[in-house]
Amino acid sequence: MSIALSFSDKSLLSGEHGEAAAFAMRLLVRFAEAVGAERFIDIEAAHIDGCLYLGQVSLDFIEHLVHLGGRVRVPTTLNVGSVDLIHPELFAGSDEVGRAGARLMKAHEELGCVPTFTCAPYQTIFRPRFGAQIAWAESNAIVFANSVLGARTNRYGDFIDLCCALTGRAPCYGLHIGENRRARVLVKVESLPEEWEEAGLSCVAVGHTIGRRCGDRVPAITGLPASTNEDDLKALGAVAASAGAVALFHAVGLTPEAPTTDAAFQGRAPEEVIRLTAADLRETAHNLSTVPDGTPLTAVSLGTPHFSLSEFERLMRLIDGARPVIDVYVNTHRAVLEELQRRGWEERLRAAGVTLVIDTCTYVTAVMRDVSGAVMTNSGKWAYYAPGNIGVEVAFGSLADCVASARAGKVVRL
């Protein structure tokens, strides 16, 4: 299928906006033809996942664009990199990877990208409006933008996301189109574990289930806890996008495109109904752990996606008392760090034995001092990826469980 090109598309291809933009537009045209798009649309913003160093090809691609004088044409944020540029001493990998990783991050800045270095750009000032057409990469950012904010993006990958940023254009297909945002699967949460005081555990269990069972189909969820907040939906989407290919979910009564079940399905019937009971949710959460209760731990890792200020507010209420006997890491971003410093919380956290990790995340790069044993987390995404990425055993639990376990040096449940 040939794609219709606008006057601005042709001017990009002709090099009127520079060689880098022309190079990016040529790649986008080939990509658009591959996915069957009929035209391009303007985008308001981009989020780039490619500043995490995965090999020389990543750096070669960006250096080529820098050499061509490339500049992004829309506000463009950056996902996590390989190095905490604020605390470079935390990086425990090879010098070669450390240097290349830092260079990759800085090269993106030379293209005009904003050095947010976070997987949660939506919890900074760069928060897309409802209905905004954007080109975002990073699975949790994509699903949050689509689901919780009602912005519109596909699951863009490395390089294509940057091509969109350099041109301000994206192929019009998939979730950019309203009718493709219709729910296909109804997920009915019929009962909740009474012992779970936090909505977060239920949301992680539901998210993991829809990731495993819905693939890339859009689910609509009913019956989530009344206390479900934005961070809970963030956790739900993150694990759903990790365990499957979910890029959009509707939580009926909670997310903007699903005031009712009928609205989520755009008046049509679901293709499938998935019913979840309290027992199902307990089993799903239990299966996120690869070790039994009582297992000795070497560390606790929180904040995947990056910890928000609201999550720190909850953590601050738990840190007073005995210090942890193992390492405790919290992954967050620069905007939250500035607020922690302003409130005097950074010093309190460090005094309580907490290591703040900025610009990156503990499961994607060499930061953790000891990975010889099991690690506990309250993140379904971290629990899903860490065993494969860094070779650790994992225990999953609530934030309060994680803090108590850090003090005990082993997996405990409250």
Question: Do 19 and 125 sit in the same domain of this protein?
Answer: yes
Q: CATH no. for residue 218?
A: 3.40.1060
pLDDT the model gives residue 2: 81
pLDDT the model gives residue 197: 83
Question: Do 24 and 145 sit in the same domain of this protein?
Answer: yes
Question: Do 16 and 70 sit in the same domain of this protein?
Answer: yes
Question: What integer is the mean pLDDT of 253-257?
Answer: 97
Identify the band that residue 225 occupies on the pLDDT scale cut at 50, 70 and 90.
very high
Question: Do 160 and 188 sit in the same domain of this protein?
Answer: no
Question: Do 167 and 220 sit in the same domain of this protein?
Answer: no
- The span from the CA of 320 to the CA of 349, in Å, is 10
Domain's final residue, options 178, 195, 215 = 178
- The span from the CA of 81 to the CA of 48, in Å, is 10
Identify the band that residue 1 occupies on the pLDDT scale cut at 50, 70 and 90.
low
Joined together, the tokens standing for residue 86 give 């604020």
pLDDT the model gives residue 321: 86
Question: Do 255 and 396 sit in the same domain of this protein?
Answer: no
Task: Report if residue 1 sits inside a domain.
Answer: no
- Which secondary-structure segment (H or E) carries 408? helix 399-408
pLDDT at 198 over 90: no
Boundaries of domain holding 392: 289-411
User: Contact 222/202 with Cβ under 8 angstroms?
Assistant: no
Question: What integer is the mean pLDDT of 171-184?
Answer: 98
The helix/strand/coil state of 317 is coil
Q: Per-residue pLDDT tens for 3-30?
A: 999 999 999 999 999 999 999 999 999 9
- The span from the CA of 191 to the CA of 188, in Å, is 9
Burial class, 372, CB count within 10 angstroms (exposed 0-12 / middle 13-18 / buried 19+)? exposed
Q: How many domains is the chain partitioned into structurally?
A: 3
Question: Do 331 and 217 sit in the same domain of this protein?
Answer: no
DSSP-assigned letter for residue 399: H
Joined together, the tokens standing for residue 235 give 């956790």
Task: Report if residue 143 sits inside a domain.
Answer: yes
Joined together, the tokens standing for residue 351 give 């005094």
Across the beta sheet with 135-136, what order do the strands follow?
76-78, 46-48, 135-136
Task: Report if residue 238 sits inside a domain.
Answer: yes
The helix/strand/coil state of 129 is coil
Question: Do 63 and 156 sit in the same domain of this protein?
Answer: yes
pLDDT at 56 over 70: yes
Question: Do 167 and 208 sit in the same domain of this protein?
Answer: no
Domain's final residue, options 178, 213, 228 = 178
Identify the band that residue 34 occupies on the pLDDT scale cut at 50, 70 and 90.
very high
Q: CATH no. for residue 83?
A: 3.30.499.10
- The mean pLDDT of the chain is 96
Question: Do 167 and 186 sit in the same domain of this protein?
Answer: no
pLDDT the model gives residue 294: 97
pLDDT the model gives residue 69: 97
Residue 287: name the closest of 243, 352, 344 by CA: 243
Q: ω into residue 193 within 30 of 0, thus cis?
A: no
Task: Report if residue 356 sits inside a domain.
Answer: yes
Give residue 6's identity as a one-letter amino acid code.
S
Task: Report if residue 97 sits inside a domain.
Answer: yes
Question: Do 19 and 165 sit in the same domain of this protein?
Answer: yes
pTM of the model: 0.96
> Which residue(s) pair with 169 in the sheet?
42
Task: Report if residue 2 sits inside a domain.
Answer: no
The helix/strand/coil state of 413 is coil
Question: What integer is the mean pLDDT of 358-378?
Answer: 95
- The span from the CA of 377 to the CA of 320, in Å, is 19
Give residue for tokens 């963030």.
234
pLDDT the model gives residue 284: 97
**What percent of the chain shows pLDDT beyond 70?**
100
Task: Report if residue 397 sits inside a domain.
Answer: yes
Task: Report if residue 348 sits inside a domain.
Answer: yes
Question: Do 25 and 167 sit in the same domain of this protein?
Answer: yes
Q: Per-residue pLDDT tens for 293-333?
A: 999 999 999 999 999 999 999 999 999 889 999 999 999 99
Domain's final residue, options 237, 271, 286 = 286
